[in-house]
Amino acid sequence: MRSVLRLVVNNPIATVLMVIFMALAGIYSARHMSVDLFPNLDIPVVNIITHYAGASSEDMELLVSRPIENEIRSIPGVKRVASTSVQGISQITAEFNWGTTIRDARQLVQARLARLGGRLPVGLTPRLENIGTTLQEVCGYVIYGGGDMVTIRNIVRHDLAGRLMSVDGVSSVEVLGGDRRAFYVEIKPEALLRLQITVDDVVSLLKRHNISAVTGYIDQSGREYLVRGDAHLKTIEDIRELPVRNDGTRPVLLGDVAKVFEGRAPRHYTVHGDAVPAVAMIVRKQPGASTIRVVTGVDAALTQLKSLLPAGARVKKFYDQSEIIKESQNEIVNDLAIGALLAVLVLYFFLGSLRPTMIVAITIPVTFLATVAIMKWLGMSLNVITMTALTLAIGMIVDDAIVVAENIFRHAQSTTKADEASIEGAFEIAGPDASGTFTTVAAFVPLVLMTGLAALFMRPFGLTISAALIVSLLLSLTLVPALFSRMKTISLIRNDFLGAQLLARLDAALQAVLRLSFRRKWLVLIVAFLSLGMAGLAAFLGKASVLPPIDEGAILIEYVMPPGTSLKESNRIGDNLDRIALADKDVSCVYRRTGSPGGGYQIEGVNKGELLVKLKPKGKRTRSVGEIIRTLKESYSKLSGVVFLYHQPTQEKIDESFSGLPALFGVTIYGTDMNTLIALADKVETVLSREPSVSNVVNNTKVKVPQIDVRINYPSLAQYGVDVATVLSTLESARFGLEATRIIRQKEDVAVLVRMDVSAPFDIERIKQLPVKTARGEWLPLERVAEVRVSHAPSAITRLNGQRQITLLAEVEGNIPSVVKELRRQFASIDLPEGYSIDFTGQYHVLIETAIELALAVLSAMVLIYLIMAMQFGSWLQPLIILVTVPLSLVGALIGLFLTRQGIDVSVGMGTVTLVGIAVNNAIVLIDFANKERASGKDITDALLSAASVRLRPILLTTLTTIAALLPTAIGTTVGSKIFQPFAITVISGLAGGVMATLIIIPTIVLALPHYRLIRQNG
């Protein structure tokens, strides 16, 4: 190692050229890396969504959900298959084992769906959706005003959306809302009776007259002419002129016996923007495309295309993922700069010399740029996770340079040659320096093997920090000694400097405390042991979640009304919600969707809706997102009969895809009979309502959906010679109309709907009297061939792995595991029939799985760290002593989290893993020096006191620079810093506890155990 250092010191130009190459590679990589909100979330979860307008929940289960379920469950590698069947909508969620790529999962599902053949009702096309597609929704716009909603929808769908698809990186543009033009043929039942025709006859008439044919070619004068017969309907007049009957005298035209007029196609959902009807556009990006570039391109294209919209039309953005990223980017860069500056100031404060401080400081940008180049080479992106990891690494990457620089300083006191001081100082500390770095890197090695939710965030986080640490180690053993060797003289440490004076006082105090601890060894160890118990209690009392709450600049509010609520009533409530939200001075735009469009990814019924409330930028609003949510909750709570769920848009997508529920917490009852399940759900709801930590319980089974059943009487059909299809087409045409054909135009398809002109009110009695034609040409009322009655069906039927279930959603305040323990005790009093069970769903299981993964990662890291230290010290016992700093550092971390009221989440888990790696570094340096002092002939007490005194400065320097670099993140003002605020608090408070453990507890333990087995006296 000494020869390598001598080579580096003697060839400074080569070292500087290496550094310049690393910096240029980093600059190039930063300019060409994709920028996203999160790392690629390749989660093996696929949702299969099918719309079947008008079908009841029971029909959806039997006709759609169950056939799809049976196919999907037979796919190898499927871990869980859950389904939800509501009125007109089926959603099946297939979760594959980790390790299956989302592309493979989608292909497997598509292959099985192709095998269904004719087992699904005619015309149904299941659609696939997954977390990748939802998080790739990068921006959304509402367009309203300036004209009728048919015109605006056509312009948006055919002009704007089509042009936006050409923007680089855009994958798809989904258009919601607006109206579709339709031509209605409305005929009275009396006219049908008079002409002796049925609705099916009118439908057939329209289909027969809306066709074209190619009859061949004609060659004439050397040219070829296509002979084409065109009978396509083009205008509403064409429909009126169609002959219904021609008896040889005067033909009866359709316009003579029916009202033919232009209207709007039926739509069982609504879209509003700023409380008025609107058309919405949701833009998705391609995988790997940069979110910022895509949104910038879309905004630029829309600016040019606004001239296509009618005068007075407004385009407002209700969601912009790039705003979150850009804000995070800017603030993370600021945090990085402030953290680096604070670290340099701390360094200067203790060293008292500018040039050595600048030598250490220059390693920060070089390490940063070299790490970005490595990230690009590994195929990673710049996102909130990796950018924040770079910020958090600032304090750790200067540790290596500080340790080397401080040791070179110390050696300069005994020699006048800068190059010799640089070589010997770097050589002496190279072993402990490398060991400390590798122990930290070793803490992140188990993350590569992790699966599940934690791995999606911790793997890129660990890779980023590990790359930064390895680069910093390389620079500390090359660039730092090379630059120090170029100094004419290395200044001695100034004893009159403020930092030196403070250090001297701390050293004196430490010596006094150590001598007292040595005399009261067992008392000190007992206090340390009791602190572990207190920390465990603090952790148990804390809140637990998967991700910490963040401020995305938007609020997603779901509102749920009793099943069976009409679209008109649900929309009326939605209008009130819009007005309340828009009255808030910090709100810039409100997008609302009530119900779900057929063929889309959405699965809400008309009794449900969602509001996406876009807030003004942080600099222009006076309150945080949490305060705004509390204000809206207070206003919305005055509306009776409505349940609200509040989310952040991105977090809701992650939560629902991970746990299968749009909520953090759920209680699921499994069984076979729906009535029994509903009765048990009422008992569970009673238990939940008594628990003070549980609120906003949503039990959709309390109210069943009313429906009118028309049950065909087959003996009557046979008796009167009535066809089933005739009965059903009569029913369909009586309300929404039966689509007969479509008129194709340049930029729109116009549906032609046949509808019976039924006199109001259209109720169950009017349905019973609908005319049905028999085979003998007679007409019967519908009630003669079918039983018409009112029934009540479940609003939703959910299944898991083929078994029916009911899930109650709720919000939980406090520690979820402790609430689950108490609820489990109360649920034991419920008498469950055989074959029925109760379990907790939502993020609860995700939390448990994540906690287990993190615990295994921490244990694995500690084993790797122990082996590295055992090789360095040549001892099995000394590494065990050093590892004591880990639990004692966690004591400080948990107390810090408790005092700052932070919950336990993935961010805290990352901080814990990081602490495992860095907590031992200071102890390694201390014990290594104590070994050298013991080898020189000092007794064990003097060796420990000397080691604590000499290593106090590098220990304080490395600790305080890391804390200083983390302070901006710990304060937490951005999305990125909010996600990692618990991480920063964990590491800062853990390091504070670790310093006390290293300087006081570790020497005390060493003195309390047999000396010859721990600190060996050899040369």
Write out pLDDT tens, residues 183-234: 999 888 888 888 888 888 888 899 988 888 887 888 888 888 888 888 888 8
Peptide bond into 481 cis (omega under 30): no
Residues 93-114 have a mean pLDDT of: 85
Report the distance separating Cα 82 and Cα 68, nearest Å: 11
pLDDT for the residue 561: 87
Number of neighbours of residue 317 by Cβ within 10 angstroms: 19
Report the distance separating Cα 480 and Cα 469, nearest Å: 15
Q: Which residue bears the tokens 């909520």?
A: 663
pLDDT for the residue 414: 65
Strand order in the sheet with 258-264: 258-264, 181-187, 749-756, 738-744
pLDDT for the residue 1013: 43
Count, residues in the chain: 1019
pLDDT for the residue 490: 57
pLDDT for the residue 347: 75
Of the two residues 654 and 389, the one the predictor is more confident about is 389
Three-state secondary structure string covering 699-720: CCCCCCEEEEEEEECHHHHHHH
Residue-wise pLDDT for 771-781, tens only, equals 888 877 788 88
Name all domains of the chain by residue range, CATH numbers in brackets.
Answer: 1-29+352-489 (1.20.1640.10), 42-132 (3.30.70.1430), 497-541+874-1018 (1.20.1640.10), 553-647 (3.30.70.1430)
Of the two residues 681 and 481, the one the predictor is more confident about is 681
Instruction: Report the sign of the C-alpha dihedral through residues 148, 154, 155, 160, in that order.
Output: positive
Residue-wise pLDDT for 514-561, tens only, equals 788 877 777 777 776 666 555 555 554 455 555 555 667 889 998 988
- Report the percentage of the chain scoring pLDDT > 90: 11
pLDDT for the residue 133: 56
Q: Is the pLDDT reported for residue 384 higher than 80? A: no
Q: Is the pLDDT reported for residue 271 higher than 90? A: yes
Do 379 and 36 contact (CB within 8 A), yes or no? no
pLDDT for the residue 454: 63
Which of the residue ranges 301-305, 796-800, 890-894 has the most confident prediction, judged by mean pLDDT?
Answer: 301-305
Q: Is the pLDDT reported for residue 750 higher than 80? A: yes
Report the distance separating Cα 623 and Cα 787, nearest Å: 59
Residues 760-773 have a mean pLDDT of: 80
pLDDT for the residue 485: 76
Q: Is the pLDDT reported for residue 440 higher than 70? A: yes
Q: Is the pLDDT reported for residue 141 higher than 90? A: yes
Number of neighbours of residue 378 by Cβ within 10 angstroms: 11
- Report the percentage of the chain scoring pLDDT > 70: 88
Do 477 and 426 contact (CB within 8 A), yes or no? yes
Residue-wise pLDDT for 824-848, tens only, equals 888 888 888 888 998 887 666 766 7
pLDDT for the residue 144: 92
What DSSP assignment string belongs to 38-105?
A: SS-----EEEEEEE-TT--HHHHIIIIIHHHHHHHHTSTTEEEEEEEEETTEEEEEEEEPTT--HHHH
Residue 836: phi, psi to the nearest 5? Answer: -115, 145
pLDDT for the residue 1014: 46
Residue-wise pLDDT for 35-69, tens only, equals 777 777 667 788 888 888 778 888 898 999 999 99
DSSP code of residue 930 = H
